[in-house]
Amino acid sequence: MTKHINITVTDRIAHVEINRPEKKNALNMALFDELVQAGETLIARDDLRAVVLSGAGGCFCAGIDTGSFMEMAAKIDAIRAEILNPPEGQVANRFQRPVTVWQELEIPVIAAIEGVAFGAGLQLALACDFRLSAPDARYSIMETRWGLIPDMGLTQSLPALLPADRAKELIMTARVLEADEALSLNLITRIEADPLTAAQELATELAARSPEAIRASKTLVNQCWGCGPEGLKLEAELQAPIIASPNQIEAVMAGMQKRPPKFR
């Protein structure tokens, strides 16, 4: 068990909670590593169907803990080396991996967002497949406020959501968005009065579907959304092993018999 990450599993759904409410779940160096550990722990499991990611104390994540700036400044040469040299076998560096690890999960990841998702917190939310937001939640790509650029995987998530001019405006101004505007810009999936309950309900709905179909659906969209004719080949490659598989046949039989499916 990590110090600031709680993981509970119920009915094949993992709930991952960032538990540092006294700091609005802001990320420090230790939490970077704990998020990676949590993500890799779930990747290694083959019994899960969905993940819900949230923050304790009514706040998703306020971004980088500003106290970490002093910690980094004291060893800036080592920090720069970690930024420029990812671990062997990895594309993402130590500061990107806490975000990108969630994109590596084959199962759906649903962010339940209350309070704020600022800076690193928003980049973490954008790495999830779905973002369910409280009506009063607020959002910001806040790094330029601290004289930095977003460097925790934003290039892997934002291009699928925003045109370049809107992305530049949000990155350069660091302005704070209310939930309604975040929804209009496609930064969030939908607004819910109780995002955690809604996220758990969505996870339950997805967990009731054939696991092969859900995983392949995520792969299809992530790897080839808008890629043109190449998508036809990927569709075929993903569909061929699924069609007439035991779980696919069970989905058909359950539908015809009007009963809940029993997937393997």
Phi, psi (deg, nearest 5) at residue 130: -135, 145
Residue 215: CB atoms within 10 Å: 17
**pTM for this model (two decimals):** 0.92
CATH 1.10.150.20 fits 5-206, yes or no: no
Below-50 pLDDT ranges, the chain: 1
Q: Tokens 């990320």 — which residue? A: 27
**Coarse DSSP helix, strand, coil percentages of the chain, rounded to the nearest 5 percent:** 50, 15, 35
pLDDT digits (tens, 9 = 90+) for 105-154: 999 999 999 999 999 999 999 999 999 999 999 999 999 998 889 999 99
Please give the pLDDT value at position 207.
97
The topology under which CATH files domain 210-257 is Lyase 2-enoyl-coa Hydratase; Chain  A, domain 2 (1.10.12)
Please give the pLDDT value at position 72.
80
Closest CA to 59 of 174, 158, 143, 139: 139
Please give the pLDDT value at position 1.
45
Please give the pLDDT value at position 2.
64
Please give the pLDDT value at position 226.
76
Indicate where the chain has its CATH 1.10.12 domain(s). Answer: 210-257
Averaged pLDDT score across all residues of the chain: 94
